[in-house]
Amino acid sequence: MSAAPAIELREVFKSFGKTQIIRGVNLAIGRGERHAIIGPNGAGKSTLFNLVSGRFPVSSGTICLNGADITGLKPYQINRRGLSRSFQITNIFHRMTVFENLRCAVLWSLGYRYSFWQAVNGLRDANERAAEVMEGIGLARRRDALAGLLSYAEQRALEIGITIAGGAEVILLDEPTAGMNRSEAAHAVDLIRRVTAGRTLVMVEHDMGVVFDLADRISVLVYGEVIATDAPAAIRANAAVQEAYLGTAANSH
């Protein structure tokens, strides 16, 4: 590969106190790739996301975004370099409207920074971009509803909308279909496919249907280690994966 990978983790470790949660993860995700991270509960999937997005500092190791070292940067610095993430537990601006949520999510990327001399209603590109995203996630008719009063599925859609609105090249989605019924999940998959077209997507997901439907490649994380990274068909056939994860998952469902 000539260009650097979109995301690269080298020997990443993370401990909370004495407990080691991430134990030497090496992972490279190419540009434009749709990558899923699966694994049993407590494997450290969300922690891995929190490390990559800068929410927690790593204990040791290196994380690169498009070839540049981002280890130890603050979340907003990482975001400004083109990485955006969603959260497993809905993390939106509750007392603001749907439209305001999205507009806030696009302001930095359009270069408005901390401007207090421009009227936000006059920022044509920001308003158009926010409206476009709002249309894209199907919330146009809820434009002026307070985000905190939306239904769960709507809030999840808004969560994804905020994540992609800034136009980041690398998108991290943490369990985007968590808590959704089958038709809502199908709708969400369709939405994710549309809004992340042409970008690098990394997602943590429990629903195997969603994973095999969306992902180009899959990594399996077990007890803080990546035991396999491969195309969906190969992952399905991998004996170690079946033993470590799919078998138990199949039994528990």
Partner 1 sequence: MNGAVLRFKPLNVGRYVTWGLFALVLVLAPVAFPQGFAITMMSQMGIWIIFALSYNMLLGQTGLLSFGHAVYSGLGAYFSIHVLNMIGAGAFAFPVTLLPLLGGLFGLLFGVLFGYVTTRKSGVAFAMISLGLGEMVFAASLMFPSFFGGEGGISANRMVGKPFLGITYGPAIQVYYLIAVWTFAAVAAMFALTRTPLGRIANAVRDNPERAEFVGYSTHMVRFLMFALSGFFAGLAGGLSAINYEIVAAESVSAQRSGGVLLAAYIGGVGFFFGPVIGAIVFTFFVVYIAGLTKAWLLYLGLFFMAIVMFAPGGIASIVLMNLNVAKHGLFGRLWKPYGWVAAAGLLAFLGFVAVVEMTYHLSDTGGGTMKLFGLSFEVKSLAPWLAALATLGAGGFLYRLAWNRFRGEWDDIQRIIAEKAP
Identified binder of partner 1 from the candidate list 26, 118, 151, 248, rule CB under 8 A: 118
Q: Does 114 help bind partner 1 (rule: CB under 8 A)?
A: yes
Query: Alpha helices, DSSP H only, in the chain?
Result: 45-52, 75-80, 98-107, 124-136, 152-165, 182-195, 208-214, 232-237, 239-241, 247-252
The span of 10-18, 133-141, 205-213, 235-243 binding partner 1 (CB under 8 A) equals 133-141
- For partner 1, the closer of residues 97 and 242 by Cβ is 97
| 112, two tokens | 């408005």
The per-residue b/e assignment along 128-141, b for 16 or more CB within 10 angstroms, e otherwise, is ebbeebbebbebee
Q: Does 143 help bind partner 1 (rule: CB under 8 A)?
A: yes
Distance CA 249, CA 42 (A): 13
CB of 160 to partner 1, least distance (A): 13
For the segment 149-208, give every residue that binds partner 1 (CB under 8 A): 162, 165-166
Gyration radius from the chain CA atoms? 18
Inter-helix orientation angle 124-136/98-107, to 10°: 120
The span of 23-31, 123-131, 209-217, 244-252 binding partner 1 (CB under 8 A) equals 123-131
CB of 115 to partner 1, least distance (A): 5
Q: Does 17 help bind partner 1 (rule: CB under 8 A)?
A: no
- For partner 1, the closer of residues 94 and 182 by Cβ is 94
Distance CA 20, CA 72 (A): 19
Q: Does 88 help bind partner 1 (rule: CB under 8 A)?
A: no
Decide: 87 and 159 in contact? Cβ < 8 Å: yes
Identified binder of partner 1 from the candidate list 10, 23, 31, 80, rule CB under 8 A: 80
Distance CA 214, CA 205 (A): 11
Which positions touch partner 1 (CB under 8 A)?
Answer: 53, 55, 74-76, 79-80, 84-85, 87, 91-96, 100, 103-105, 107-109, 112-124, 127-128, 131-132, 134-135, 140, 143, 162, 165-166
